[in-house]
Chain A
């Protein structure tokens, strides 16, 4: 028991080493005045600002707004892209008709959609959520399609020999086979979504963490430190999100052999 806890602590420490070193170096370099007069706060000051924002309640308010956008867009993307990817990957006819369209749409730079959405849906929440959805969608869609196209043909043959219906084939064979690669797509999608979230909130929003960042960067005073604080905060949120995705993946893919070493 005791040794198990010790072991976990050691691994945790191992994993944090590099981060701690960087933070310490940051603190020392700034305090030593090497970077003077660049407007860089010390690491401790950056976390201090974060705490101040939390105490004032602004951090929570904007976090909820930003994560709400991420969650809506991401969920929409998952709900649309996974079934669509299964269909396009599995049914030849579907692919023939849809693939050219998807390939073309994919070439449009993501942010170029934003003005289009604004023209159509106005500058409200809908445009932002749609853009975030689009950002997540390509990764999920493409990873699902390629996962489906790479399902082991012998597994498919075996299932077919046991007389499964087309629906069961999708549900009980194709989807589970595809799950590991879909998760890779889900993780890339999250990264893309955060990128777009910030672009959207910086370009056209007066709330959300991205807008706080823009606000901070336009003010020379201590507000400027918020730029760093929000960046660090997003990194932490990203870590948590990734951790949750990996946890879900582990649970759903416990049948997969672990690879890698050391």
Chain B
């Protein structure tokens, strides 16, 4: 059964290009980030997107999260078009994005407050999810007192606590060291099994994508579209075995993905030399500005 369906999603960004002096001043250019993404994700599925840097993965995730609107196309969840954020989707970013003035448990309670759940019930639920991510006993710690891995655990607990059907994760383990990363990958699999969520996961790591996913979608260099979708023939039980990463299926999948991704990375680098250098500074300002509107 389809849980998330993206139909021909196009997303354009206005960027200020103040490079050409002949235009004398600021002209606004458009940058096509997503060039018609089609993708269906099944209920309970773990789907990862890999693609070269700047191809539009985060842009797509924000769209599914309802944080921005596509210029063309529609996203459906359970057949209903998305037109804004909602508690049916939880988001986890690479940057943790914890509220630094709230303790671990306070962070996890945040979404529950929007749901108008009473205080003592909130605490109970938050405690349950903190223990699910292995953080019992750290309830009263402030984010600055937690390691990167612990912060991301809190962020995951926070996204799970209001019990969304869908978890959207944008390179959640990207900032962690490799050991912590592997531990959290395993825990995420366990949590996924326990909670039966539909997970849309973005990563730079092919290895991570193969280890976690039912299917992996490869996105092309900008403008991003889905180039291929690869099934990962690993059963859930097999993934918990120690030598899964050296198993034939794993190695083969990784090889296949890398073959598909390689040319996109090369293409992205070529685009990058042409445009990224020119726009990078103004881009950041625009990106920040957009967050406020």
Which residues of A approach B to under 8 Å, CB–CB? 90, 92, 149, 152-164, 168, 172-173, 176-177, 179, 253-257
Contact = CB atoms under 8 A, between A and B. Distances in A.
Contacts of B113: 172
A255 B142 contact: yes
B291 A157 contact: yes
22 contacts: A90-B292, A149-B292, A152-B97, A154-B95, A154-B97, A155-B99, A157-B91, A158-B91, A161-B66, A161-B67, A161-B85, A161-B91, A162-B85, A162-B114, A163-B87, A176-B99, A177-B101, A253-B101, A255-B142, A255-B143, A255-B144, A256-B100
Given A255-B101, A255-B143, A162 B162 contact: yes
B293 A176 contact: no
B293 A162 contact: no
A157 B110 contact: no
A167 to B, nearest CB: 12
Contacts of A255: 100-103, 142-144
A257 B144 contact: yes
Q: Which 4 A-B pairs have the closest CB atoms?
A: A153-B291, A154-B97, A257-B144, A162-B111
B103 to A, nearest CB: 8
Contacts of B103: 255
A58 B282 CA distance: 61
B93 interface: yes
Q: Which of A157, A179, A253 is the most central at the interface, judged by chain B CB atoms within 10 Å of its CB?
A: A157
B172 interface: no
A158 B67 CA distance: 9
B65 to A, nearest CB: 5
Contacts of B291: 153, 156-157
Contacts of B151: none
Interface in B47-73: 62, 65-67
Contacts of A158: 91, 93, 97
Contacts of A149: 292
A157 B93 contact: yes
Given A161-B91, A177-B101, A255-B142, 6 more contacts: A158-B97, A161-B67, A161-B90, A163-B86, A255-B100, A256-B100
B183 to A, nearest CB: 23
B114 A164 contact: yes
A155 B144 contact: no
Interface of B: 62, 65-67, 85-87, 89-91, 93, 95, 97-103, 110-111, 113-114, 142-144, 162, 287-288, 291-293
A82 B97 CA distance: 25
A168 B112 CA distance: 13
A164 B103 CA distance: 19
B67 to A, nearest CB: 6
Given A92-B292, A92-B293, A179 B101 contact: yes
Contacts of B67: 157, 160-161
Nearest to B290: A153
B73 to A, nearest CB: 20
Contact of A159 (B89, B110, B144, B292): B110
Contacts of A176: 99, 101
A212 B99 CA distance: 49
Nearest to A164: B114
Contacts of A173: 99
A146 to B, nearest CB: 13
A160 B85 contact: yes
A93 to B, nearest CB: 10
Contacts of A177: 100-101
A153 B288 contact: yes
A164 to B, nearest CB: 6
Contacts of B85: 160-163
A155 B66 CA distance: 15
A155 B98 CA distance: 7
Contacts of A161: 65-67, 85, 89-91
Contact of A155 (B62, B86, B97, B114): B97
A164 B66 CA distance: 13
B227 to A, nearest CB: 27
A164 B112 CA distance: 11
Contacts of B93: 154, 157-158
Contacts of B288: 153
A168 B100 CA distance: 17
A168 B287 CA distance: 23
A253 B86 CA distance: 30
Contacts of B90: 161-162
A177 B113 CA distance: 18
Contacts of B98: 155
Contacts of B162: 162
Contacts of A92: 292-293
A221 B87 CA distance: 76
A223 B102 CA distance: 55
